[in-house]
């Protein structure tokens, strides 16, 4: 039987309760040195809560945490960092107006005669970058870097603490395939140096490629830990959701009808953006928008919804020329937009579930004196919670305390209450587990079955192939082609994506 000292990290039977919910229920995680240990589970399974207990953001109510066999309990992240535990968060928290090296050594600048020793800071940063094969100028402003470069800087910062346990939370959610390969090379380097790496991701292909061991959680509990080499995608899904989904996608039984939305020669005012895009989209149809990073897929949705300004072109809805000059006009004209960055542009984080659910339709709950009918907002919010199986203790819970998948369901519920005619989804399942993905796919298909017009932007080709009727491919702002999904292959989508590069 293994002893605790065989593990660089041993989390055993920890419990964490919040008002109305037991987020962790005797959960466990045992990480061997020199390995990548994937931590998987549906949104709300307790993965983030467990890591926050390890990192000193939360204090566990019961259980023990050991590093190299020594029991620890950190009161704050500073203590965790000083004891060799570092975490790279999915949402990067950096000082964009300061240099790369200042971000790495923030709060612990090297000093010389009472002044910051910039030369030593530069040399120490270069040394770490060379070790990790990171090609970034330490003196450049971090705000000028790409998301992938900023993520590499965060990993370098973790290494600078001489950490031996490194937590990576959804590290590839914003990376291209080439950037993912570079990240994996760095992870393998750290592995060879004896790091214990906890890798949190919903991307099962990556998990099976990069991981040595996989721990799966469900409803705050430990379910299984197995060698990655012995797992399949189907087995992981079954362990995560507690049931066999059968298929990754619901059956497509919507029937597209007549054309309801016409885009004629749309060109955005501010460049680089979309150029001369024309599309006919039908009622009851799910149209996918594919394309590489920089193809301007998001900009197309923003031009339709009025959050980006058109220089030329026309939008017709049910044969009538309309103008969406801002989001208010778009909502009035029957449009809904679920944005890609839900934390930045989707939710009101410190507001509760009810406010976030009803805000887009607040005029419908307000009488002529300006008073909101609270009983109606309460009943409609509850209807959305029940319909979409949103996991929340109460309607008055702050939305930021929910998992990513449940936040996304609240946002979709918000737009369902507006009873829009056209639904625009930008990366609707980004950072969401396979079980919640299936439920959101079903919601999208249900909208199409009700005769709504649905447009879905996604970076995941299998997702587009699984839920759409047609796929339009964007390339550098141009519409490169549109075809029935059943007639498209991934290779053809990639060929069209590169057409205007």
Tens of pLDDT, residues 244-253? 555 678 899 9
Q: How far apart are CA 166 and CA 442, in angstroms?
A: 36
Residue carrying structure tokens 């044969």: 319
- Eight-state DSSP code of residue 6: G
Angle 377-439-258 (CA atoms, 0-180°, nearest 5)? 85
Q: What is the model's pLDDT at position 244?
A: 58
Q: What is the model's pLDDT at position 228?
A: 94
Q: What is the model's pLDDT at position 431?
A: 67
Q: What is the model's pLDDT at position 5?
A: 62
Q: What is the model's pLDDT at position 174?
A: 65
Are the beta carbons of 45 and 25 closer than 8 angstroms? no
Q: What is the model's pLDDT at position 240?
A: 81
Q: What is the model's pLDDT at position 243?
A: 60
Q: What is the model's pLDDT at position 344?
A: 65
Based on its alpha-carbon atoms, the radius of gyration of the chain, rounded to whole angstroms, reads 24
Burial class (CB in 10 A: 0-12, 13-18, 19+), 45: buried
Three-state SS string across 90-126, please? CCCCCCCCCEHHHHHCCCCCCEECCEECHHHHHHHHH
| Residues of the chain under the 50 pLDDT cut | 1-4
The gap between the terminal CA atoms of the chain, to the nearest Å, is 57
Q: What is the model's pLDDT at position 4?
A: 44
The count of residues in the chain is: 501
Task: Report the C-alpha dihedral over residues 383, 388, 391, 393, rounded to 10 degrees.
Answer: 0
Q: How far apart are CA 320 and CA 299, in angstroms?
A: 23
Distances (CA, A) of 17 to 14, 59, 349: 10, 10, 21
Dihedrals phi, psi of 442, to nearest 5 degrees? -65, -40
Q: How many CA atoms lie within 13 A of 65 on its CB side?
A: 22
Q: At what angle do helices 434-449 and 233-241 cross, to 10 degrees?
A: 80
Dihedrals phi, psi of 279, to nearest 5 degrees? -150, 140
Pair of tokens at residue 14 = 């920890």
pTM of the predicted protein model = 0.63
Q: How far apart are CA 286 and CA 68, in angstroms?
A: 52
Dihedrals phi, psi of 288, to nearest 5 degrees? -90, 145
Pair of tokens at residue 28 = 């466990």
Residue 167, classed as helix, strand or coil, is strand
Question: Is the dihedral angle over the CA atoms 281, 286, 291, 296 positive or is it negative?
Answer: positive
Q: What is the model's pLDDT at position 2?
A: 44
Q: What is the model's pLDDT at position 22?
A: 83
Pairing of strands 115-116, 111-112: antiparallel
């Amino acid at each position: 039987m293994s002893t605790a000292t065989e593990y660089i990290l041993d989390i055993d039977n920890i419990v964490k309760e919040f008002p109305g919910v037991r987020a962790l229920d005797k959960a466990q995680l045992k990480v061997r040195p020199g390995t990548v240990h994937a931590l998987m589970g549906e949104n709300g399974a307790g993965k983030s809560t467990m890591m926050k207990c390890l990192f000193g953001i939360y204090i566990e109510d019961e259980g023990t945490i050991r590093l190299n066999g020594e029991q620890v309990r950190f009161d704050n992240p500073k203590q965790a960092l000083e004891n060799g535990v570092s975490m790279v968060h999915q949402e990067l928290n950096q000082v964009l107006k300061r240099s790369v090296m200042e971000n790495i050594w923030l709060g612990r600048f090297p000093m010389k005669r009472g002044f910051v020793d910039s030369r030593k800071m530069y040399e120490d940063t270069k040394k770490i970058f060379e070790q990790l094969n990171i090609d970034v100028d330490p003196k450049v402003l971090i705000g000028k870097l790409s998301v992938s470069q900023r993520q590499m800087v965060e990993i370098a910062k973790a290494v600078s603490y001489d950490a031996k346990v490194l937590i990576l939370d959804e590290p590839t959610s914003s990376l291209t395939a080439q950037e993912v390969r570079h990240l994996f090379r760095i992870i393998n380097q750290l592995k060879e140096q004896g790091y214990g790496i906890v890798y949190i991701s919903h991307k099962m292909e990556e998990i099976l490629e990069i991981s040595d061991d996989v721990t799966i959680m469900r409803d705050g509990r430990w379910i299984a830990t197995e060698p990655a080499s012995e797992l399949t995608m189907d087995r992981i899904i079954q362990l995560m959701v507690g049931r066999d989904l059968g298929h990754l996608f619901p059956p497509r039984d919507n029937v597209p009808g007549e054309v309801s939305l016409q885009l004629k020669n749309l060109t955005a005012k501010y460049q680089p953006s979309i150029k001369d895009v024309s599309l006919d989209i039908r009622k009851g149809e799910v149209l996918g928008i594919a394309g590489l990073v920089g193809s301007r897929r998001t900009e197309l949705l923003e031009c339709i919804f009025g959050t980006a300004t058109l220089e030329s072109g026309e939008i017709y809805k049910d044969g009538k020329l309309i103008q969406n000059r801002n989001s208010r006009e778009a909502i009035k004209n029957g449009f809904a937009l679920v944005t890609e960055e839900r934390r930045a542009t989707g939710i009101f984080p410190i507001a509760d579930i009810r406010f976030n659910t009803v805000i887009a339709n607040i005029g419908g709950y307000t009488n002529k004196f300006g008073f909101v009918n609270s009983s109606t907002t309460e009943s409609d919010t509850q209807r959305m919670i029940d319909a979409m199986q949103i996991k929340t203790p109460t309607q008055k819970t702050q939305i930021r305390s929910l998992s990513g998948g449940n936040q996304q369901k609240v946002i979709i519920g918000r737009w369902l209450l507006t009873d829009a005619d056209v639904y625009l989804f930008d990366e609707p399942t980004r950072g969401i587990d396979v079980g919640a993905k299936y439920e959101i796919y079903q919601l999208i298909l249900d909208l199409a079955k009700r005769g709504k017009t649905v447009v879905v932007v996604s970076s995941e080709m299998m997702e587009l192939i699984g839920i759409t009727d047609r796929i339009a491919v964007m390339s550098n702002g141009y519409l490169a082609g549109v075809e029935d999904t059943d007639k498209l292959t991934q290779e053809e989508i990639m060929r069209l994506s590169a057409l205007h590069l």
